[in-house]
Amino acid sequence: MVKRLPLHTTHVELGAKMIEFAGYIMPVHYETGVIAEHMNVRENIGLFDISHMGEVLVEGPDAKPYLQKMFTNDLSLLYDGKSQYGCLCYENGTTVEDSFYYQHSETKYRLIINAANREKDLNWLSKHAEKFNVRIKDMSNLRGRYALQGPKSFETLEPLLSDSIKNLQRFHFKETQLLGVEVFIAQTGYTGEFGYEISFEVADAQKVWNSILESGKIYNILPIGLGARDTLRLEACYSLYGHELTDKITPVEAGIGFCVKPKEGIDFIGKKVLLDQKENGTDKKIVGFEIIGKGIGREEYKVYSMDGEEIGYITSGTFSPLLKKAIGLVLLKIEYTSIGTEFNIDIRGKPTKAIVAPTPFYDVHKK
């Protein structure tokens, strides 16, 4: 059964075009359109309704050792108030899920998971929790979630809060109040832009949404849909499950080996394969590309060497509103992944030249 967001009616009233995505009816864009929304996030500020995302609490005396077994990254690097990005993997190293998780304490963690993977993830987490003293609580339907992204995010959010977030650093979080509403605020996001992700009880969804939009008016805030969310994350080269990460692609092959740590003495799931890939390399890898000339490389388009050999496929592709050119991510045989390597994309039967490009295409922290 397709679900609706808590503010479904609000999005319709704001002129959103609604589509089905990950089991939800979601706004793909509003009256301003994808390009205007994209550029407003880069230049001003945008508000995303991401209440379709899953939210899970893992609590109990064994919460930390349990998650150390489950995730590829090293939770010993965390402390209270800090978040981390990692992957859940199968024994063969391919990916169950990628997730940000947040340490409230060594006995309490908050996980944000993909909506389409929610049931699968909960089953996977529960299956491996039997030998640990932990409780896994699905909070997804009880919480609302927004992302506030763009250069004016701080100026918009700060006046609404009972505690200042002036010193809240990247990948950190705090719990405070927004005009009397209890909120969880993390300095994270999926756009490559400065911003925050906010979680709250679903009953407060309308108040939080309206308050942020009102506060951001002076900075030309816009509601932002899925279309711009995808173009923004591609400019930043963030992986999307089902595209760059799947049950056939490992984190190392996806180019995010940074979230795979050795964790001496900890036998996390997929460790043997993943550490071998980090040490000895892989036979395929996801890299960035730009198209030379006209055309856009879309998901699953096949790609060929200049000699006509099939060498991989596009995992994600789009036209970049900021860079004014077609970009994307492509899974290639390893010998074709050097920057500057040319290849052809089969775009509806027509070979279109592309080139392996440096990534990320956009990095706000290096502007």
More confident position, 156 or 364 = 156
Backbone angles phi, psi at 3, to 5 degrees: -100, 160
- What percent of the chain stands above pLDDT 70? 100
Q: Report residue 330 as tokens.
A: 């492509």
CA distance 224 to 38: 8
Above 70 in pLDDT, residue 367?
A: no
pLDDT at residue 366 above 90? no
* pLDDT of 365 strictly over 90: no
The tens digit of pLDDT for each residue in 4-32 reads 999 999 999 999 999 999 999 999 999 99
CB atoms within 10 A of CB 217: 9
Non-local CB neighbours of 1 within 8 Å, separated by 6+ positions: none
Q: Are 329 and 234 contacting, i.e. CB atoms less than 8 angstroms apart?
A: yes
**Domain parsing of the chain, residue ranges:** 3-51+141-235, 55-138, 283-357
Residues in the chain, overall count: 367
Q: What is the pLDDT of residue 293?
A: 85
pLDDT at 1: 85
**CATH level 2 (architecture), domain 55-138:** 2-Layer Sandwich (3.30)
Instruction: Find tokens 């993909």 and name the residue.
Output: 114
Residues 6+ apart with CB under 8 A from 260: 72, 73, 87, 251, 252, 274, 275, 278
Q: What is the mean pLDDT of residues 161-175?
A: 98
225-250 average pLDDT score: 98
CA angle 276, 277, 278 (to 5 degrees): 90
Mean pLDDT of 220-241: 98
Name the class of domain 3-51+141-235.
Answer: alpha beta
Report whether pLDDT(197) > 80: yes
Q: What is the mean pLDDT of residues 303-322?
A: 98
Per-residue pLDDT band for 98 (boundaries 50, 70, 90) equals: very high
Topology adopted by domain 283-357:
Elongation Factor Tu (Ef-tu); domain 3 (2.40.30)
The pair of three-digit structure tokens given for residue 327, joined into one six-digit string: 């970009």
Contact call for residues 232 and 193 (beta carbons, < 8 A): yes
Q: pLDDT tens digit string along 116-128?
A: 999 999 999 999 9
Cα separation values, 60 from 179, 197, 347, Å: 31, 25, 52
Residue range 249-260, pLDDT digits in tens = 999 999 999 999
Mean pLDDT of the chain: 97
pTM of the predicted model, to two decimals? Answer: 0.96
Q: What is the DSSP letter of 175?
A: E
Q: What are phi and psi of 285, to 5 degrees?
A: -160, 145
If you ran DSSP here, which 8-state letter would residue 359 be given?
A: S
Which residues make Cβ contacts (< 8 Å) with residue 274, sequence separation at least 6? 72, 89, 93, 250, 251, 252, 257, 260
Q: Is the pLDDT of residue 83 over 70?
A: yes
Residue % of the chain over a pLDDT of 90: 98
Averaged pLDDT, 172-191 = 98
pLDDT at 298: 97
